[in-house]
Chain A
Amino acid sequence: MTKWSLTLGKRYYIMTMWSFDGCKGESDVEPIIKIKDVVKEYTMGEVRIRAADGISFEVEKGELVVVLGPSGAGKSTVLNILGGMDFPTSGEVWVNGKDISKFNRNELIMYRRRHIGFVFQFYNLMPNLTALENVEIAAQICDDPLDAAKVLKDVGLDERLQNFPSQLSGGEQQRVSIARAVAKNPTLLLCDEPTGALDYMTGKSILKLLRDVNRDFKKTVMIITHNSPIAQMADKVVRVKNGKVESVEINDNPIPIERIEW
């Protein structure tokens, strides 16, 4: 059984095997994520809301996927379920050969701890920890973390290690947030509107960073956004509308962020 083995070398691909405890190694052909007929219903007072209405799609290992859709389409619901923060009402969510929709509370905690790196729209850093400590606090609970200082350096914050979030700009805070997710050395990087709170230029640089992380660290990255031009950077685009998947497109030639305008 092997674990992630990762170096930080630029554009240096290492074949990695990832597995859950007790999980047999599997072939590269098998998609890393298989979402099948996921339905999520909320009861808000007396109103029943169907946020996800039979969503299905697959993600290959190492892909950068953009999930696109207007607000309220159900994309965040999928992300929350995939991130182990919520349960589907029905359907299956296979991550690396395990159906996490059957996980109990504690299994989900361990799943989040070992396999998920989350990037939020509003960064959600600990206000009274420094940038470095914010990354370390996530890294320290993982089995095989990356060096916190090094990751921060890689996201361009080597000068800001000892600063507190209140002393950082929004873009810098989002970089810390990405570093925090990466340092956990997760299977999957989930980003919920990562540029939503940022200005145009900063947003672009954050997207570029996510692309670099995807390539350099060989991470499977999933970005959720309502901003359609961003889809051009993805390997795969999943369009969601009214709780259903409208289309899944494979983009053979993703456009570099620098050339995307919106």
Chain B
Amino acid sequence: MWIFLKKFFRDLGESKGQFISVVAVVIIGVMFYTGLYSALEGLSGAGRSYFDGYRLGDLWGSMYRAPEGAVKRIEEIPGVRMATGRVVQDVRISIGEKDGMVRLISLPDEKEDVVNDIQMKAGSYFSNDTGNQCIVSEDFFKAHHLAMGQTIEPIVNGDRVKLKVVGTAKSPEYTYEIRDASELIPDPEKFGVVYVKKSYLQSVLNFTGSINDISVLLDQQSNMKKVKDEMEKVLKQYGLTGIVERKDQLSYSMFNTDVSSLESMAAIFPMLFFIASAVIIYITMTRMIENQRTLMGVLKALGYSNWDIMLHYQTYPLLVGILGSIIGSLVGVYVVGDALLGLFNTFYNIPTGDTAVHMGIILPAALLALVFCVAAGYNACRKELYLVPAQSMRPKPPASGRKLFLENIRLLWERISFSWKIILRNLFRYKKRSAMASVGIIFSMILLLVALGFQNSIDFLMHEQFEEIQRFDIKINLSGMMNADELNYIRSIDHIKTVEPILESGMEITSGWIKKDIGITAYGRESGLYGIFDMEGNPVKLPEEGILLPKRLMDSLSLQPGDKVYLRSYFPGKNEDEHKKEVLVKGATSQFIGQSAVCSTDYLNYLFNESIVANAAYIKLEDLKYEKEVIRRLKDILTINTVQSKAEVMTNTEKTMQSMNGIIVFMVLGAGILAFAVIYNITNINIFERRREIATLSVLGFTDRELKSLVFNENFFLSIFGAIVGIIPGRLLTEFVITMQTTDNMYLPATLNPSSYIIAALLMIGFTVLANLLLTRKILSINMVESLKSAE
């Protein structure tokens, strides 16, 4: 048998380019598959064990102030495994030149098991020495170049409180370290979590004996809804501001979304590549075997069995499959997987460790690749093997020319040049091959469109969010409710053009049986700094009465405009059932980030019998160049809790998007290699099979340019055809993939700019040109004498 192997490797040596390009396609397929899955596996596995290991809560209740005894009562609720009472407070901090926010969270003075525990990364837990020790989140620690033993000074109730850093930690509660859903991307310089001894934090905040946060861990079989209702009953009297379930908790839901969007990507892309590579292998194998059919006849005549010959011709797909799988998995796991995991690690503080070659991931990919390769090879072989030796040793009957239906349109056909007649007849003569080449090109077009669609959608979201919706420059949060008139002194700061007070609050919305905690934001009716849009993107004016809800929220509550809902606020003293208000839902709004009901300030104040109050404000500057100066002034005002610069949020977001660009470039590259491999292979075979025709034309005196155009125009025809056909499925898949990214917190609108279609089509043509360039030599080096010497 080893003579066969020798023959095989000699055959291979003669068609290196083809072999490499087929292997490349398998590599890409396997690479995407293993890379995505190993990143996914690494992430979700690490996530699960991390969340469980450090007891991430199932429910979070926050309230204005509750006695510590309330924790005991919560723990007595059936189904509750564990409850921990904490004091949680966001405060401002300045470290060096940098200003930011920290969330102070209390932890037991001495180490004990709590819900939402921390994982110590450096230093040690609190000691008995002093009260003012703190443990800082690792990222915040690094971002500010802190040192152990250093003192940080957050401003609590207007006073600087000195806290000594004794350790760094990570926590499953803040794998995604952002303050609230309105911040898209973590920025460890601006926000971090600082854990403080409970007794100390209580005394500093005048909370001795009290807490404002209870996190609850449930038994496995307990009824989440029941426990939540019971909790509500207990905590209502303490000014309950909201109960959050684990699935809605920021870190957890962000994490889950990404895992599921990865899963959807992992399902689609490797499949596309696999199908494309199967198609290429199929074409290559069929041609290869057809060109060797005389040889197969000889082998059969010599007495080799079909099985022997089949085995010999399966060496090619087997080698392609095995080589492609091995290289693909290695690159997939160690390069793509690691890169993706690294990307996620910059978002989530999950100790993921390294990706590993995981047989459970690689085997299916390798098997799938092999099955595709071998099936293609088998199919190609079978046809020839059924011939009797005498028949297969005879040359193949000449390919028949046939008239096309197109030729009936005389006017058109007579105007077509010969080379186009040859091209068109060729394309239709080998319908199957043309169709398969188109399939490969259509797949690449689809991939290109999805990649570009991702980019477009993100750009669109950024533009809408930061240009159309958030028209302000600075947002401030006040330390409490205040009369809108009190904002006047902010207006008096130099370089501030306008200040618009807003009111942000949590609410419970009831529609029929369904209850949901939502945010509500009230704006002035003539708000110029915040854009509200309907689903068609038209600006909406706030109604005098009633509220507007985000479309997705309306859908989940099955509400129609004109329906009525009940709202209950969490304001202490106004949170009883009798304070529930019936409210008219006026219409739907489109919101990309967060899900918050909107209404006019007048209406909200009317609802709750308040004078005009606000707890936050939007600020527009005369010019952005004054931003630093104004922010400095604002920070000196004690009633202002946080100052958020839109420009900074934007820069930060864009920074993160750059890593997204990496994925997009990766996909474009993949699509390019795919298109290139398809065109290269098809053309290569084409040239080989038609070398006689090309030689004849060459003898007739066709110039190099005329010969090239004959072969290459066929490629251009196929690419343009494939690009056009790929538009619709590409659009649909883009919509599908991007819709998968939508979460409760973020809605990514699927967008594909017209320019993207053009770019994708141009890229396809570019890849075709590249393949053509590489094949030029093949055409021009056809030896006329050799090719014409013998019968086929």
Contact = CB atoms under 8 A, between A and B. Distances in A.
Nearest to B402: A164
B421 A129 contact: yes
Nearest to A113: B701
Interface of A: 80, 83, 85-86, 106, 109-114, 116, 118, 120, 122, 124-130, 133, 136-138, 140-142, 164-167, 180, 184, 197
Contact of A141 (B397, B695, B701): B701
A127 B700 contact: no
Given A128-B422, A137-B700, A166-B401, 14 more contacts: A106-B703, A109-B698, A110-B701, A112-B700, A113-B702, A118-B700, A122-B790, A122-B792, A127-B693, A129-B401, A130-B401, A164-B401, A180-B700, A197-B791
Contact-size category for B: 20 to 34
Contact of B400 (A127, A129, A184): A127
Given A127-B401, A133-B418, A197-B791, A184 B429 contact: no
B428 to A, nearest CB: 9
Q: Is the interface of B mostly helix, strand, loop or mixed?
A: helix
Contact of B692 (A116, A124, A140): A124
Interface string B766-792: 000000000000000000110010111
Nearest to B789: A76
A106 B400 CA distance: 33
Contacts of B699: 83, 85, 112, 116, 118, 124
Contacts of B785: 80, 85-86
B371 to A, nearest CB: 36
B560 interface: no
28 contacts: A80-B785, A83-B699, A85-B785, A106-B703, A109-B698, A112-B699, A113-B701, A113-B702, A118-B699, A122-B788, A124-B696, A126-B697, A127-B398, A127-B399, A127-B400, A128-B402, A129-B425, A136-B418, A137-B700, A138-B700, A141-B701, A141-B702, A164-B402, A165-B401, A166-B397, A166-B398, A166-B399, A197-B791
Contacts of B397: 166
Contacts, number: 92
Contacts of A112: 698-701
A124 B704 contact: no
Interface string B692-731: 1101111111111010000000000000000000000000
B49 interface: no
B606 to A, nearest CB: 82
A126 B703 CA distance: 17
A206 to B, nearest CB: 17
A68 B736 CA distance: 73
Contacts of A111: 701
A261 to B, nearest CB: 27
Contacts of B426: 128
Query: Shortest 6 CB-CB distances between A and B: which pairs?
Result: A113-B701, A164-B401, A128-B425, A128-B401, A112-B701, A166-B400
Residue from B397, B401, B418, B706 whose CB has the most chain A CB atoms within 10 Å: B401
B418 A116 contact: no
A118 B695 CA distance: 12
Residue from A118, A126, A129 whose CB has the most chain B CB atoms within 10 Å: A126
B297 to A, nearest CB: 20
A111 B699 CA distance: 10
B690 to A, nearest CB: 9
